[in-house]
Amino acid sequence: MLEPSAFYPPAPTPHRAPLGPLALLLTIRRNVLDIWTEADFRLPIQLRKTIVDRRALISDPVAIRHIFVDNARNYEKNELQLRLLRPALGVGLVTANGDAWRRQRQMLAPFFSPPRMNALAAAQDAAAAQSAARIAAVAQAANGDRTLDIADEMGRLTLEILEHTLFSAGLDYVPSMFQKTVAQYLETLGRLDYLDLIGMPDWLPRWNRFKGRRTLRFAAQVVDGMIDARRRMLDSGESAPPDLLTHLLSARDPAGEALSTREVHDNIVTFIGAGHETSANALTWTLYLLSQSPHWRARVEAEIDTFAHEGPHFADLPLVRAVIEETLRLYPPIPMMSRIAREADAVSGVTIPAGTIVTVAPYVLHRHETLWREPNRFDPARFLGEQRAQIARHAWLPFGAGGRTCIGMGFAMSEMIVVLRHLLRRFRFDLAPGHPVMPQVRVTMRPQYGMKMRVRLR
C-alpha cells in the first residue's frame, strides 16, 4: 500500500491583521471563511468591540463547554438573527428559542432515536442505489465524457434521502414538482444573506431579502398540501407511513397537546433546509479528499470490500467513519455558530459583557494550532485508536454541542456511511483535470466552483 504523503487541502490563507470595517463587510459577502486572522487560529478567546456591537470568538474547549452546556441558558440564539431567518424557516426547531424550542425538541427527539435510525438506513440505502445507477450511466457513457459535478449529484441524492425518510412515497403530490419546488426553495434559502446568519444589524442593506418571496409562498402551499393529505389519512384510520410527517402530526407534549399546523409546517421546511446541503457538502468534500489521497482511498476501498456482504444497516466501518470525521474537521458544513450573552458572565477567566455576540467557529476550532497537530493536513488517522482518545472534548464540533446539538447527527452519519459504501464499492472518483477547488460559505460550506469529477468503474 502506498505511504501517505502529506496533503494540505485548499483553504483561504489567514490574514496577518484583522480586516478594516469595510473590507470585513465585503469579505463577509464574498466568503466568510476569508475573514480570519492568524491570531484566530492561535488564541483561545478573543473579544472585539466594533462600532456596531461587541463580539467574542471562542476556541477554548473548556469555555465552549461552559457556553453550550453548563451555562447554556445564558447563551441563547440571537433573536435578531432568528427574526431574519424566520421568513424562510418559520419557527421550527432551528429557529425557536426558550420554552418553545424545548417543547419541540422533546417532541421530535424520539423520531431520531437509534432504533429508528436503523429502520431509516434501508430508505437511505435505496436512494443511494438510485444515485449509483445514475453515476454508472456516466461512468459508462458512450461519448467518452465521464465527468459529472459530484456536488450536484450529492445534492440530488441527499434530497431524495430526505424525501423518502421524512415524507415517504405515495403522498398526494407530484414528485417532480416537489423536487423542483424544494430546489427553488433551497436556492432562495441559499441566497439568505450571511450578514443575517452572523447577526449583523438589521439596518445594513440585504438585497437578497427581496428576492424569492414567490418561491417561498409556493413551497409553503406544497407543504400545506402534504400536511392536509396526511392528516386526512390519519383521521380516517388508514395506516400511515412511519415517517417524520406522521411523527410530527402524532407527537404529544407532556400536557397532551399536539404541535400546531404551523409548527408542523415550519419543521418540515426546517428539516429540508437543515438536512440537505449539510450532508451533501460533507459527502462531496469526502469524495474530493479521497481523490487526493491514494493511500486513504486504497484503505477505505479495502475496508468496504471486506464488508461488502453486510446489509444496509451495517455501519461499523472505522476507516470510513474516520475519513468522514476528518472531512468534517477540515470542511465543517456549518462553519460558525453564534449565541448572545443575556447576562455578563466569566468564561475561562475572561469577562463576557451582557449583549456580546459569542461565536464558536468549528472551522477555526478544527484548525486551531493549540488543539491539533499539523491542523491543515488531511490525516484521518487522528480519529483512530490512541490518537482519537487524545482529541480534547469539544475540540471537534461539526454537529454543535449541548442541548442544541444537531438532532440529525445519527441520521447524517448513517446516511454518509451508507452512501460511501455504495459509491466507493463500485466507482473511483478523480478530480477533473484543472478543476479549481476552494471552500466557500453560502449558509453551508460548499465547493465554490462545484466539484467536477471523472468517474470510473472499479
List of residues contacting ligand HEM (CB under 6 A): 93-94, 105, 270-271, 274-275, 278-279, 282, 333-334, 337, 398-400, 404, 406-408, 411-412
- Closer residue to ligand HEM, CB minimum distance, 57 or 412: 412
Least distance to ligand HEM from the beta carbon of 115, Å? 16
Name which of 222, 203, 198, 188 is nearest 48 in CA terms: 198
Hey, what's the cell of 3?
A: 505511504
Cα 53 to Cα 49: distance, rounded to the nearest angstrom: 6
Least distance to ligand HEM from the beta carbon of 1, Å? 28
406 in a known ligand binding site = yes
Least distance to ligand HEM from the beta carbon of 403, Å? 7
Least distance to ligand HEM from the beta carbon of 19, Å? 24
CA torsion angle 32 64 199 43 (round to 10): -50
Cα 330 to Cα 68: distance, rounded to the nearest angstrom: 22
When computed from its CA atoms, the radius of gyration of the chain, rounded to whole angstroms, is 22
Cα 311 to Cα 299: distance, rounded to the nearest angstrom: 21
- Closer residue to ligand HEM, CB minimum distance, 299 or 329: 329
Cα 210 to Cα 181: distance, rounded to the nearest angstrom: 18
Least distance to ligand HEM from the beta carbon of 280, Å? 9
Hey, what's the cell of 253?
A: 407534549
Strand ranges (E), 302-407: 337-341, 345-347, 350-352, 357-360
Establish how many alpha carbons lie within 13 A of residue 147's alpha carbon, considering only the half-sphere containing its beta carbon: 12
Hey, what's the cell of 458?
A: 472499479
Which residue minimizes CB distance to ligand HEM? Answer: 408
- Closer residue to ligand HEM, CB minimum distance, 154 or 407: 407
Least distance to ligand HEM from the beta carbon of 441, Å? 13
Hey, what's the cell of 308?
A: 461488502
Least distance to ligand HEM from the beta carbon of 432, Å? 24
Hey, what's the cell of 28?
A: 463577509
Q: DSSP characters for 67-93?
A: IIIITGGGEEPPHHHHHHHHHHH-SST
Strand partners, 357: 55, 340
Binding-site annotation, residues for heme: 406
